[in-house]
Amino acid sequence: MRLMPEEIVLGSGSSFRFGMRLLPAGRRQAIIAIYAFCRAVDDIVDGPLPHASKIAGVDAWQRELELAARGAARTPVGQDLTRAIVRFDLPLEEFALVIDGMRMDLSGMVAPDRATFDAYIRRVAGAVGILSMHVFGAWRGETSRRFALSLARALQMTNILRDVEEDAALGRLYLPADLLDDTGVPHDPVRVPGAPGLPEVRARLATEARAAFTEARREIPNHSRLRLSPALLMMGPYDRLLRRIEADPSRAPAHRGGIGKACDGIRCMVRPGRA
């Protein structure tokens, strides 16, 4: 828990780093703190520790979050979170939702029903989207909530589609149970890769992700394009990734390099249609 926030972000390899660079120093420090907090907890959940140690690690970060809210954080990440919470009046309940989402992973995410699937996305992605909109200075009330939650849903579903095989190796299966049942795909992570019905599942969930991207785009004109630019810079590469999945749902798409992602993001900033 002693890593500096910037070290956590730089070590992640996330395309989110591109959007961070557009922000003024104070806002950049705040978004780095939020990302570092999420990344640190996620690394515990996905790491090689015994299950009991993972639970203890998540509990420790929940306590650190509570301390950060009171201005008594003990770690560099927590101390930066305190500054972000105070400066940008961040809603503490959204941080709590992130922790809840990580606990859902610890409890085992295998073929969730729709209510569980939606709750998971709201926690691990939607909460971060809402916090980010506040830090960006883009928050405009309900239209911003709709944008943040729709975009977060699109991004998270695209991640799920991309990482089916990788998640299966960890014993997880985020694909909704109703889609698996409709296509005859088993609820067993070990048996999902290579299942005959998997391409259809991917295609159908990709349609839902595309609809979420469309819903997010409807809200873009209600915001300052400048304030929204970090989100749009991230939206572009994911839009491109989803299109590759739509074009060939039979397999996970190959990795796309950082320069290509940056170009996709810039195109989305200039014209937030398809990248």
Q: Is the pLDDT of residue 261 over 50?
A: no
Looking at 64, 91, 118, which one is the last position of a domain?
A: 91
Q: Is 13 helix (H, G, I), strand (E, B) or coil?
A: coil
CA-angle at 237, arms to 270 and 271, nearest 5°: 15
Q: What does the DSSP 8-state code read for residue 123? A: I
Query: What share of the chain in percent tops pLDDT 90?
Result: 77
Are 43 and 144 in the same domain? no
Q: Is the pLDDT of residue 272 over 60?
A: no
Per-residue model confidence as pLDDT tens digits over 107-149 = 989 999 999 999 999 999 999 999 999 999 999 999 999 999 9
Are 128 and 252 in the same domain? yes
Looking at 31, 58, 91, which one is the last position of a domain?
A: 91
Q: What does pTM read for this prediction?
A: 0.88
Are 232 and 275 in the same domain? yes
What DSSP letter does each residue of 214-268 carry, written as one string? Answer: HHHHHHGGGS-HHHHHHHHHHHHHHHHHHHHHHH-TTSPPPP--HHHHHHHHHHH
Q: At 270, is the pLDDT very low, low, confident or very high (cuts 50, 70, 90)?
A: very low
Q: At 8, is the pLDDT very low, low, confident or very high (cuts 50, 70, 90)?
A: low
Query: CATH number for the domain including 122?
Result: 1.10.600.10
Per-residue model confidence as pLDDT tens digits over 156-179 = 999 999 999 999 998 999 999 999
Domain assignment present for 98: no
Per-residue model confidence as pLDDT tens digits over 59-79 = 999 999 999 999 999 999 999
Domain assignment present for 254: yes
Are 42 and 123 in the same domain? no
**Nearest in space to 45 (alpha carbons), one of 65, 59, 64:** 59
Query: What share of the chain in percent tops pLDDT 70?
Result: 85
**pLDDT for 189:** 96
Q: Is the pLDDT of residue 211 over 80?
A: yes
Higher pLDDT, 25 or 208: 208
Are 171 and 132 in the same domain? yes
Are 259 and 181 in the same domain? yes
Q: Is the pLDDT of residue 93 over 70?
A: yes
Mean pLDDT score of the chain: 88
What is the mean pLDDT of the segment spanning 1-7?
51
Supply the range of the domain harboring residue 12.
Answer: 1-91
